[in-house]
Structure 1
């Protein structure tokens, strides 16, 4: 089969949606998955695109989507784990359920989708998994500690499992947007589920400062979703063994500090932003 097939999670908006359109334009078969496909009226009209339900918190829907994609197109060649959300709020304001949900979506859901797709890859000793991570999996930020924890875990898991899967001819890659992406509902869910803990007045001044700081940072959030989709396409087609693809304008130097400065210099750089100066 010369026409390759890709399954993408979280395609109702943002990076996932842009990726469906980009791969369809490249002539790929695309399994576009989302939690509520009944609300989708555009993607199914594209050539060689199958829109179907997949909720990463529902294992039955994962299995059904994988089976539907293989039944439609014969096999899967690439899996893109894009679905995710960010749980915002002070750590002390987060409930155990909120933290568990963050990990269920951003980490365990990825694992479950991979577990369902890997037998098809392994049978052919071929395939590629692309996990969409975040700058928050490279550097830590206040007010999104649960999100950072889930993305740091995704980074470590992806790197570790890449060695196992390489023995089966299966590749693993990470696409890492940093700086924010436009045209996505990611931040809508994050805002709806912001943790407002009771009895945390001690954090009031800090929270106000961080809210103002993130507001300024968010003001430059202009990265187009299709731009990120272009890196996903590059990762899917360049034939390299590159693990990480960093995507974005590192205007504040967080990625550069994490990757190229020593620990002391990195922490000094980050604390200049996030530790209130007395």
Structure 2
């Protein structure tokens, strides 16, 4: 039987690339997005259902799930991809934006997962692939809230995997780094521009922007298609492996976090990402 995957956040980036890849490899794809009218041609592909799902709208989650079942009969894999990143100094970020960061990146992911779990439990089968980030492993200045949401996603995913293993349901985490072919940076920049600047932070922000420019210049330019291949591997490799680092640019930082002492890690990161002021 042809397998079916439901993917959130398919209008751009990893979600759109993953929907195209799974469809090309013969899967049924439920490609969901907040605004289906923004679909960039996925609905023209065979065995692809494009439908509305806003992770902040539980009714739309249930509707997309029901529509997918009517069309394809079952769902085998869920990819929780929808998300965005706040960029800027924490103190300058309005509380409502902090809540939105977690509502989309964590609580929405939880709501989508909760909606599909009864289906997976009934079948004693299913795979959940949660899209994290290098920022769920290590932290960087100016993205404290994004890091917080992805650290929470990682903890939730790992603990959930223990709850579901005995029911035949697997949980995977994919950790991408810097990818130029998404709209992530554009939205992050828009969010930062809307924040009210506090004069005391102006020198720090300027220096941090220079640090990020250096990091971007040095990184390998992975694409959304590269990350989609890793998502495909996580969904199909039939192993109990949990974490997949999806781009080469973050591997040194991931290794520093996971393979060295706390003191070595902090010294490495401070030397690499602490802005030099004055």
Residue in 2 that maps onto 1:223: 222
Deviations 1:140-198 (CA, angstroms, capped at 9, x unpaired):
111010000000000000000100011211000001002x1122112222111116654
Structure 2 CA distance for partners of 1:48 and 1:265, relative to 1, 3 Å: same
Residue in 1 that maps onto 2:189: 191
What is the CA–CA distance in structure 1 between the aligned matches of 2:196 and 2:232, rounded to whole Å?
45
User: What runs of 5+ residues in structure 1 fail to find an aligned partner?
Assistant: none
Alpha-carbon distance, 1:221 to partner: 5.7
Deviations 1:29-84 (CA, angstroms, capped at 9, x unpaired):
00000011022251011110000000111111111001111110001000000010
Residue in 1 that maps onto 2:8: 9
- Determine if contact 1:8/1:82 at 8 Å carries over to the other structure: yes
Q: Calculate the aligned-residue CA RMSD, in Å.
A: 1.5
Residue in 1 that maps onto 2:199: 201
Residue in 1 that maps onto 2:180: 182
Question: Where does structure 1 differ by over 3 angstroms across 4 or more consecutive aligned residues?
Answer: 195-199
User: What runs of 5+ residues in structure 2 fail to find an aligned partner?
Assistant: none
Residue in 2 that maps onto 1:100: 99
Residue in 2 that maps onto 1:65: 64
5 Å-filtered alignment, 1:33-182, equals: 33-178=32-177, 180-182=178-180
TM-score relative to the length of structure 2? 0.95
Residue in 1 that maps onto 2:211: 213
What is the CA–CA distance in structure 2 between the aligned matches of 1:255 and 1:64, rounded to whole Å?
38
What is the CA–CA distance in structure 2 between the aligned matches of 1:85 and 1:67, rounded to whole Å?
26
- Determine if contact 1:24/1:48 at 8 Å carries over to the other structure: yes
What is the CA–CA distance in structure 2 between the aligned matches of 1:85 and 1:41, rounded to whole Å?
19
What is the CA–CA distance in structure 2 between the aligned matches of 1:277 and 1:192, rounded to whole Å?
25
Alpha-carbon distance, 1:250 to partner: 3.5
What is the CA–CA distance in structure 2 between the aligned matches of 1:9 and 1:55, rounded to whole Å?
8
Alpha-carbon distance, 1:274 to partner: 2.9
What is the CA–CA distance in structure 1 between the aligned matches of 2:194 and 2:36, rounded to whole Å?
31
TM-score relative to the length of structure 1? 0.95
What is the CA–CA distance in structure 2 between the aligned matches of 1:60 and 1:95, rounded to whole Å?
27
What is the CA–CA distance in structure 2 between the aligned matches of 1:36 and 1:72, rounded to whole Å?
20
Structure 2 CA distance for partners of 1:250 and 1:71, relative to 1, 3 Å: same
What is the CA–CA distance in structure 1 between the aligned matches of 2:117 and 2:212, rounded to whole Å?
39
Alpha-carbon distance, 1:124 to partner: 0.6
Residue in 1 that maps onto 2:30: 31
1:271 match: secondary structure? helix
Structure 2 CA distance for partners of 1:23 and 1:198, relative to 1, 3 Å: closer
